Chains A and B, each alone.
Chain A
């Protein structure tokens, strides 16, 4: 059975990724995984249209699985301020992804309340990284 792979990205208002992380975390990035990262960017970016469409028609933040391309499923979560969380995953894990999104939402809110952080800026906080890795390990393994 193929390994479960996840790619998580927080997308800003101009479609720019402000945070990215692969799960399982900690693996050394090979050349192949760099190529996959590019593909993930394309798939995630293309899914934003349907994410936005969902966001217009539903009041739910968690949008479940919104798109699929080849082996990659795309799940999404839209915050109240229209920041989009995108998760590309090779296996269905709806419940885990939902809980991960919820935890990351809270972490993001805390980070966004930092007066030195501007909305849509790239998140470079190591604490945020650690939190994301922790929740990834907890819910996405």
Chain B
């Protein structure tokens, strides 16, 4: 299998050496290491003037060796058997030294010897062989010839392996070189014609050996072989000459197969020369030069010497090595650069060669010509036609065509057209032989390689399409589906080399289709899928899928979505069937993450089912963030951030609670001398967290699935300081039209040490997978790193209250208290303040925290005053304050008033409480009137307030109503504040100037009850006039009668309904010491309810009495006809 297209070309100048593991003990890893070490020696320099390189390849199998006579590069020139004695290549020396020879050892030695001999006999045409014995004693293997034995105690001790391999290569070289210099066939008359093993079978007719044509055929074949030897021994220039001679002879002899090989050889040699000129093929390693820069910058070549030291030299000095014959070239590295197309594919431009060759013509032409000139000189002793020395100068015009540079002096210049024509000739000639189908294909690939070198990509594509199509056709029964798959893979590799990634993807996928082609009686195995999985994986780039790039969900231009989905699904299927469970999960998650909006519902359901099955299949949790290595490290699948399920966005770091949030107080000792300076370092108090104090980050969470989404172990990912995140579990409802804005949640965590904390992302367990994602910024797709400064552990003041805790506000959970009290109760609460401090200041700054304890008090009414009245008391100097008390509770309330009087109030009921209060003698009756006579409003208010306070003090002593609710074990005071603030009430408790006391028929009238009388019945009404005035007051007392009509309309004067016999008006003179009585005899002439009210007319010279100056309770009469 060819790893790159250039291998098709380099193969023609490479000697095949088969290396195989032999013997009973197999150690594959150790054998691989040996093969790898041998392969590093694939090129040796056998001559430095001219510089000749000898190429070897170390393969484990060889194919088409039946054509080794036709094409010498197919021949196996040597075999290497690798045997491990007991211990798999790592035997213990001490045990081995003391070990006696046993039968088993003998049989092992014999087995190895036999296997080695068999290996040599399998390849009968070999020049020599080597048997590498790891762990064996040299003398035990006398059956193997001494010079073929390479015994090493262990692989690590096999330091001479490389030099032995180089020695083998030199031995092969010498033999081939001897064959090359032997050109006696040109002069011999009788020569044996080289033939293929089964050539006689398909040859038509009988050949006459004496004919000129036969002679030409033999000569042509010998020349062809001679040319092959030239090529293998590092003399391509001579090979070209020899191939030309062979073509000439074989063409005239009509020897089509050999002619095809000669054409192929000629064109391939031109290619090799051309590639060497370009610096793209050297020492067996082919590297593409992809840009002008790379061409102008001389690539470096690493040279390993025998002693192991390495040095780097530039490419232009490669031709001038003077390190001895044993030196060899190990690896050539040419750094390539690619042009990028607008579509993002790395590619070459078809016009590159013009620029490339022009640069070549300037830099390398002299070196090149010297080399060719010398080469022709060294072989002048042979019979090959000599080539005259080329002039050192090359015309600038020749530089335009790379071929013309080195073949400028040829008889016929091998133009591009001629090279391609010869390739086509070779293909056409090979096509005549079905058995040479693969040879024909290899020629096609070499022609393609030539077009790659010429940067003729359009022609290449057309040539490739025209010539490889037939191999893939169903009609082509010569090749099975595996060979066709291989052809497609080669095409894919070729397209990748030229940067045609889309073509590469197409052919790689086609190769998978051939690989998985099911023949009769065969089912696809896991191994088949293991083979195709890496191939499919490498097509992703061609379809524009980049697994490593963080996916931008807003990016609409993600390429050919349908193809990407299909190819990703194919890769998922291949990985799943190949048993790469983790890779399958990763591909499935990538598909869902990137292409979820483009998937139809049935496919989405199927994919989620597949994911569920894969997750359930094992107990280990798949880590989406970890890189997966598949296929011995050949495939590396990067980690994935599954940000779509769920969609977590807009991270916002919240400040700590007001009682926990610190503020930085700048050090006063470092105060600036400036009042203000713009250069002053501002203290940033915006985002401050405190060690051991839980911090919160608010995020928006959205479920874009139509099903409920369960997110487990959701927590923050931070950097910088030690942090303990708090894991959360979410159950997100399905997305619908109403619920598509997402919900806001808070993620908690406790910083454990001070410093700069960077909140970078979150982790969660989703669908049974561990997922870690970075927060992305709003606009760009840059990672959003939120910096939070964490302060050292700070002191904290705890405020506690004996009252119960108030309901926590959503925004604030600082300490608070709540009290529910009944109106009139005495409230008591204890406040405990604890102070804890082990603070250490930083940078001279100090930190400050504030704490408060809000208390919510709810007052529930218990027993309240709903109304009040003032009624006359039991004497003119006392009043009854009648208070209507309402019990608002659900329980019976007991009232205690006037020291020991008790009363019960039913729930939700009102009762009237009479409280006897003496009149206040400190305030005169006209005091309020006088206050209103003051000069200003303010003075009036102040005087009124003064009077009110005097009265309040007087009344409050008597207005003490206590309540008790035995059921609740509560007691309190009936709130009478509203009474005491009422000036109109208090006014009535002032001792009036004149008080009138009524006696009806000799009895004092105290109640408001009506006095029942009949019409015409005389009633004796005695009025006692009492004065509180210091001075004597004179006046005339009379009685008036009125009838109350209604509350609204008031009363009507009905004095005519009342007859007074005797004195109607009685003069009086009273003072503080002397009171006077006046008697009236009255009768009513009309039925009804009447009220008799005294009327005082002041004597001349006396002031008229104001309403509030006189206190008299009217006497109510109920007059009826019958008595």
Contacts and interface: CB of A to CB of B under 8 A. Distances in A.
Given A15-B560, A67-B465, A53 B506 contact: no
Interface string B326-364: 000000000000000111110101110000000000000
Interface in A119-140: 120-121
B929 interface: no
A56 B349 contact: yes
Interface string B496-535: 0000111101110100000000000000000000000000
B544 A53 contact: no
A52 B506 CA distance: 16
B343 A52 contact: yes
Given A14-B558, A45-B543, A38 B566 contact: yes
A14 B543 contact: no
Interface string A1-28: 0000000000011111100000000000
Interface string A41-72: 11101101110111011000000000110000
A12 to B, nearest CB: 7
Given A15-B544, A50-B461, A52-B347, A45 B563 contact: yes
A15 B458 contact: no
Contacts of B461: 49-50, 53, 67
B342 A42 contact: no
B512 to A, nearest CB: 12
B500 A68 contact: no
A45 B567 CA distance: 13
B566 A53 contact: no
Given A15-B343, A15-B544, A53 B560 contact: no
A41 B560 contact: yes
Contacts of B566: 38
Given A13-B557, A16-B559, A41-B562, A49 B351 contact: no
A82 interface: yes
B561 interface: yes
B556 interface: yes
B877 interface: no
Contacts of B349: 56-57
B928 to A, nearest CB: 84
A112 B558 CA distance: 20
Contacts of A68: 465
B292 to A, nearest CB: 15
Given A49-B501, A53-B457, A53-B461, A42 B347 contact: no
A42 B465 CA distance: 16
Interface string A68-104: 1000000000000010000000000000000000000
A49 B465 contact: no
B458 A14 contact: no
Nearest to A42: B506
Contact of A54 (B458, B543, B560, B561): B458
A121 B343 contact: no
B502 A46 contact: yes
Given A12-B557, A14-B559, A42-B509, A57 B342 contact: no
A16 B458 contact: no
Interface in B903-923: none
B495 interface: yes
Contacts of B559: 14-16
Contacts of B465: 67-68
Nearest to A11: B560
A52 B503 CA distance: 12
Per DSSP, chain A at the interface is helix
A16 B561 contact: yes
A76 to B, nearest CB: 12
A13 to B, nearest CB: 6
A14 B458 CA distance: 22
Contact of A50 (B351, B458, B507, B558): B458
Contacts of A121: 556
Contacts of A17: 560, 562
A53 B503 contact: no
A50 B500 contact: yes
A38 to B, nearest CB: 7
A17 to B, nearest CB: 7
Contacts of A48: 343, 502
A41 B566 CA distance: 11
A60 B495 CA distance: 25
A57 B351 contact: yes
Given A13-B557, A14-B559, A15-B502, A52 B458 contact: no
Contacts of B505: 45-46
A14 B350 contact: no
B63 to A, nearest CB: 29
A82 B342 contact: yes
B557 A120 contact: yes
B557 A16 contact: yes
A54 B458 CA distance: 7
A13 B351 contact: no
A46 B351 CA distance: 22
A50 B495 CA distance: 11
Contacts of B506: 42-43, 45-46
Given A12-B557, A16-B557, A41 B563 contact: yes
Contacts of B457: 50, 53
Contacts of A16: 557-561
A13 B343 contact: yes
A41 B544 CA distance: 14
Interface in B368-405: none
A53 B558 contact: no
Interface string B540-584: 000110000000000011111111001000000000000000000
Interface centre among A17, A48, A54 (most CB of B within 10 A): A48
A14 B343 contact: yes
Contacts of A52: 341-343, 345, 347
B963 to A, nearest CB: 78
A46 B544 CA distance: 12
B573 to A, nearest CB: 15
B495 to A, nearest CB: 7
B503 A57 contact: no
A37 to B, nearest CB: 9
B503 A49 contact: yes
23 contacts: A12-B557, A15-B544, A16-B559, A16-B561, A38-B566, A42-B509, A43-B506, A45-B505, A45-B506, A45-B563, A46-B502, A49-B347, A49-B501, A49-B503, A50-B458, A50-B503, A52-B341, A52-B343, A52-B345, A53-B458, A53-B500, A57-B351, A67-B461
Given A13-B557, A16-B561, 10 more contacts: A13-B342, A16-B557, A17-B560, A48-B343, A50-B461, A52-B347, A57-B349, A57-B350, A68-B465, A120-B557
Interface of A: 12-17, 38, 41-43, 45-46, 48-50, 52-54, 56-57, 67-68, 82, 120-121
Question: Closest 3 A-B residue pairs measured CB to CB?
Answer: A46-B506, A49-B500, A14-B557
